[in-house]
């Protein structure tokens, strides 16, 4: 390798990559935890070392030049290699104390994880946990989280997934709403209720129809992509909505509606194969598996 030909600093390349991906120096500085002037100096230093202009300013945004676009692919490959290196090193850690990031849905994060984390504190008090509450699939490959709790099996080849349990979903409403709407005794009476939905109305309607409830999109009077917000609307007496049975048990003011409907869904724990060899990650992974199992 011609070491003398490598005439730039990785921190400068990282500053360029973050700026290109985030779209501005201010957003990139927040992502990297640097001040904006420091980040700007790093990008300028990279331009000087390469002898090219990488960005041009258009309004308040930075736009890649032709040279910047040519460089970006190479720097992205470097960033991916740096992430893999970080994963490999983290996976060799034998230290139990430290930080672990867990990503899960908002409902899982609010209702299921807190008692498990309380148990983790008793078992391993030196472990600090960040819960990334999100309904989207977090990218474990890029270290957005160390462990993911998902309801579907991932397909990425570098991820290890373990089926650790199964939950059931049911319909719930407050007693106040059911008294106003009339306690439904049949599928047809349930289909006359107002519903609180989540993000995908068509999927919810199809699921309810498949379970014998002749509802339509017109039934869904309120909705939110945020599971906690939707559950709050149900708890406020706005209508009938779906929730896992174990989460609903935390909410005594709701009643199960039409108990004949029971929809099972799996719980998968997912971790990157490199991190699976980390003693700290393995300890948290096993405790989660035991709790959900």
The full set of domain ranges for the chain reads 3-91, 98-165+266-292, 167-264
**pLDDT value for 131:** 94
Q: How far apart are CA 124 and CA 131, in angstroms?
A: 17
Cα distances from 24 to residues 8, 50, 77, 153, in angstroms, run 21, 21, 21, 36
Predicted local confidence at residue 3, as pLDDT = 46
- pLDDT value for 87: 52
Residue with tokens 């709403």: 177
Contact 158, 141 (CB under 8 A): yes
- pLDDT score, position 11: 82
3-91 belongs to which CATH class?
mainly alpha
Q: What is the pTM of this model?
A: 0.63
Three-state secondary-structure class, residue 202:
helix
Q: Which two tokens stand for residue 175?
A: 């007693």
What is the predicted pLDDT for the residue at 102?
A: 93
- pLDDT at residue number 89: 54
Name which of 22, 37, 33, 142 is nearest 80 in CA terms.
Answer: 142
Q: Which residues contact 50 (CB under 8 A, 6 or more apart)?
A: 8, 67, 71
What are the distances in angstroms from CA 129 to CA 43, 98, 162, 224, 283? Answer: 33, 9, 21, 27, 13
Q: What is the pLDDT of residue 242?
A: 92
> Do the two domains 98-165+266-292 and 167-264 of this chain adopt the same fold?
yes
Residue 201 has what pLDDT?
86
Q: At what angle do helices 66-91 and 10-22 cross, to 10 degrees?
A: 110
- Beta strand 98-104 with 127-133 is parallel
Q: What is the pLDDT of residue 2?
A: 47
* DSSP category for residue 191: T
Closest CA to 198 of 236, 219, 227, 157: 227
How do 220-223 and 241-244 pair as beta strands? unpaired
| Gap between the Cα atoms of 29 and 35, Å rounded | 6
Homologous superfamily (CATH) for 167-264: Periplasmic binding protein-like II (3.40.190.10)
Residue 168 to residue 72: CA distance in whole angstroms: 46
Structure tokens at 165: 């349990």
CA–CA separation, 2 and 81 (whole Å): 19
> pLDDT by residue for the chain (293 residues), tens digit each?
444 555 567 788 888 888 888 888 888 888 888 888 888 888 888 888 888 888 887 777 788 888 888 888 888 877 776 666 565 555 555 567 889 999 998 999 998 999 999 999 988 899 999 999 886 666 676 678 899 998 888 888 778 888 988 889 999 999 999 999 889 989 999 999 999 998 788 888 998 998 889 999 999 999 998 889 999 999 999 999 999 998 898 888 999 998 888 888 899 999 887 777 788 888 899 889 988 87
Per-residue DSSP letter, 228: H
Rounded Cα gap, residues 129 and 70, in angstroms: 39
CATH fold group of domain 98-165+266-292:
D-Maltodextrin-Binding Protein; domain 2 (3.40.190)
Task: Please list, in sequence order, all residues whose beta carbon lies within 8 angstroms of the beta carbon of residue 116, skipping any fewer than 6 positions away.
Answer: 287, 288, 291
103: β partners: 132, 148
């Amino acid at each position: 390798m011609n070491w003398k030909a490598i005439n730039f600093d990785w921190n400068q390349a990282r500053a360029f990559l973050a700026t290109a991906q985030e779209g501005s120096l201010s957003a990139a500085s927040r992502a990297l935890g640097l001040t904006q002037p420091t980040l700007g100096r790093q990008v300028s230093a990279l331009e000087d070392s390469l002898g090219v202009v990488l960005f041009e300013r258009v309004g308040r945004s930075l736009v890649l030049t032709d040279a910047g676009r040519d460089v970006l692919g190479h720097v992205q490959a470097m960033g991916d290699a740096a992430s893999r290196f970080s994963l490999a090193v983290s996976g060799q850690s034998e230290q139990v104390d430290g930080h672990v990031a867990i990503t899960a849905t908002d409902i899982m994060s609010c209702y299921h994880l807190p008692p498990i984390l309380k148990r983790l504190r008793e078992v391993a008090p030196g472990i600090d946990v960040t819960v990334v509450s999100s309904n989207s699939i977090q990218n474990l490959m890029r270290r957005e989280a160390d462990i993911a709790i998902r309801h579907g099996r991932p397909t990425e080849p570098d991820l290890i997934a373990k089926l650790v349990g199964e939950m059931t979903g049911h319909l719930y409403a407050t007693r106040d709403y059911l008294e106003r709407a009339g306690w439904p005794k049949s599928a047809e009476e349930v289909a006359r209720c107002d519903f609180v939905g989540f993000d995908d109305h068509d999927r919810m309607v199809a699921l309810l129809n498949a379970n014998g409830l002749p509802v339509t999109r017109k039934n869904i009077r309120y909705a939110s992509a945020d599971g906690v917000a939707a559950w709050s609307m149900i708890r406020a007496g706005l209508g009938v909505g779906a929730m896992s049975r174990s989460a609903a048990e935390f909410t005594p003011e709701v009643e199960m509606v039409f108990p004949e409907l029971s929809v099972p869904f799996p719980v998968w724990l997912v971790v990157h194969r490199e991190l699976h060899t980390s003693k700290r990650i393995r300890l948290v992974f096993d405790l989660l598996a035991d709790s959900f199992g």
